[in-house]
Amino acid sequence: MATRLVGLPAPTFDMPSTKNLETLDENVKLSDYEGKWVILFFYPMDFTFVCPTEITALSDRYEEFQDLDTEIIGVSTDTVFTHRAWINTPRDSNGLGEVKYPLAADHNHKVSREYGVLIEEEGIAQRGLFIIDPEGVLRYQVVTDDNVGRSVDETLRVLLALQSGGLCPSDWKPGDKHLVKS
């Protein structure tokens, strides 16, 4: 059952991550990102087919998000050890290669459950993307079928629209006018 999260404080988290790929001893916590925008995205599993296309696409354009004072965190229910193995596998061998942001391990399923993306019977997360504002309020959520990868361009467009603070019509892009309340 879907839960309304948009407009409410984002569920907090503290998960093992690949922030320190060597030691795997640095967790990611929502509280570490206070004052920044956060793209928190969930994906089903490591070493799959659609997931690496999203993870690498976001990594390849990471600087664009950094320029918008935005951090990215990827999450699956796999362990940090599996994440590290996938990162250490070259892209041309179904691996990720270098990833410029951390992948977090929600192996106890707590965070996936709180964000409403856990497929309980399979123990994996759906493909969900959440944008959290600098005050910790969840401003955007989208969950898609596992067979369809998400668009980095659309994620950037929505982030920019949220950061603009105005009323943004369909297909709004930076430079377009905002709607005016009458």
* Long-range own/partner contacts, residues 49-54 (CB < 8 A, 24 or more apart): 50/127, 50/146, 50/147, 50/148, 50/149, 51/76, 52/86, 52/91, 52/94, 52/95, 52/96, 53/149, 54/127, 54/149, 54/150
Distance CA 131, CA 67 (A): 16
Cα–Cα distances in angstroms (integers) from residue 15 to residues 28, 59, 103, 107, 172, in the given order: 5, 20, 9, 9, 35
Set 30, 38, 40, 51: catalytic member? 51
Residue 168 annotated to the active site? no
CA distance 166 to 42: 28
Which residues belong to the active site? 51
